[in-house]
Amino acid sequence: MADHGWCDDSDHHEAVQRAERATRFGWSAIAWTTGALGCALIALTGLCAVAVVACLSVVVMSHY
């Protein structure tokens, strides 16, 4: 049994490592995108709240 070529799994291990890196990159991209959309949603909600308060203050001031 001097021939060790039958037990060469280096291609398989390299493919697994590439797949793991791609998976980590994919999850990182999903996390960053979700975080950015969440921040944008919070900012939009704040702007809407400011707009509502401004409109209400204009209505209240117009009655005096």
Identity of residue 53: V
Rounded mean pLDDT of 3-14?
74
The confidence band for 5, taking pLDDT boundaries of 50, 70 and 90, is low
- The reported pTM is 0.64
**Which amino acid, one-letter code, is at 40?**
A
Whether the pLDDT of residue 8 is over 90: the answer is no
Q: Which residue has the higher pLDDT, 6 or 1?
A: 6
Which tokens is 25 given? 């990159």
**Structure-model confidence comparison of residues 7 and 54, the more confident one:** 54
**Terminal CA-to-CA distance of the chain, rounded, Å?**
100
pLDDT category of residue 1 using cuts at 50, 70 and 90: very low
